[in-house]
Amino acid sequence: MKRFPVAAGNWKMNTTVEEAAALAKELRDRLDRLDGVEKIVCPPFVSLVPVKGIITGSSIKLGAQNMYFQEKGAFTGEVSPTMLAGLCQYVILGHSERRQYFHEEDRLVNRKLKAALKAGLAPILCVGEKLEDREGGRTEEVITRQISEGLADIPNPGDLVIAYEPIWAIGTGRAATASQANETIGLIRRVVGGQCGGAVAEGVRLLYGGSVTAANILEFVSQSEIDGSLVGGASLKAGDFTSIAEQTARAK
């Protein structure tokens, strides 16, 4: 089965509203006519509305970086699936920075996944091991737990995308090797298959993330199991993200 490749930019806690609008305009001008890859931008919450205004009518899709699982109510500071459903197609869930700094665990990520799917949002579920897990030979165990608990009681995960982001490779300039990433992503596909069945596993798009640049993207997207990338730092530069998307389209 041919899976449609992805280049997704996670802007994290960067850009003011004005800067986000300027970046979105530049990306629209450069990327709108690029076929053969799904381009997704995930700006901060406060910039979702202006960025949506800028990319509406273009081929660029919009994603949020997080959400809470409740639909509404007294949850000060949180953003609900219902709020996002009218705005964007995608939502990143379980990013390692959420797990590390905001103590999000697999059970919470699972509730968020269910809520996103119910609201018609496509989740981008992030998984990845710490350096000590990799060095201690626990990568498989950690990834298997994150996937099986994250996807618990979700037999049909819709347009789910999963990003494998080894924590030691995020923002460090130390990317995984393409073959390391391909191997772990192959494991993720098998775990998804065991849990949701072969058809879901065949169709789910699996991305690599962690120090992806315009210089190394080709190695990753040349791998059989890797369907694209979730890009942090390099997605803040229109030229770099454009190059990443172009190389992905060409390679796949």
Q: Is 165 known to be catalytic?
A: yes
Smallest separation (angstroms) from ligand PGA to the CB of 229: 8
Q: Is 140 known to be catalytic?
A: no
Is 9 an interacting residue with respect to ligand PGA (CB under 6 A)?
no
User: What DSSP assignment string belongs to 117-152?
Assistant: HHTTPEEEEEE---HHHHHTT-HHHHHHHHHHHHTT
Is 63 an interacting residue with respect to ligand PGA (CB under 6 A)?
no
Of 24, 230, 245, 249, the one binding ligand PGA (CB under 6 A) is 230
> What character string, x for contact with ligand PGA (CB under 6 A) and - otherwise, covers 176-215?
---------------------------------xxxx---
Buried b / exposed e across 241-252, counting CB within 10 Å, b at 16+? bbbbbbbbbebb
Binding to ligand PGA, residues 93-112 (CB under 6 A): none
- Are residues 69 and 111 in contact, defined by beta-carbon separation less than 8 angstroms? yes
* Helices within 2-127 (DSSP H only): 17-31, 48-55, 81-85, 96-101, 106-118
Of 165, 227, 240, 246, the one binding ligand PGA (CB under 6 A) is 165
Q: Report the length, in residues, of the chain.
A: 252
Identify the active-site residue in 38, 97, 129, 165.
165
Chain contacts with ligand PGA (rule: CB under 6 A): 10, 165, 170-171, 209-212, 230-234
| Positions marked active-site | 95, 165
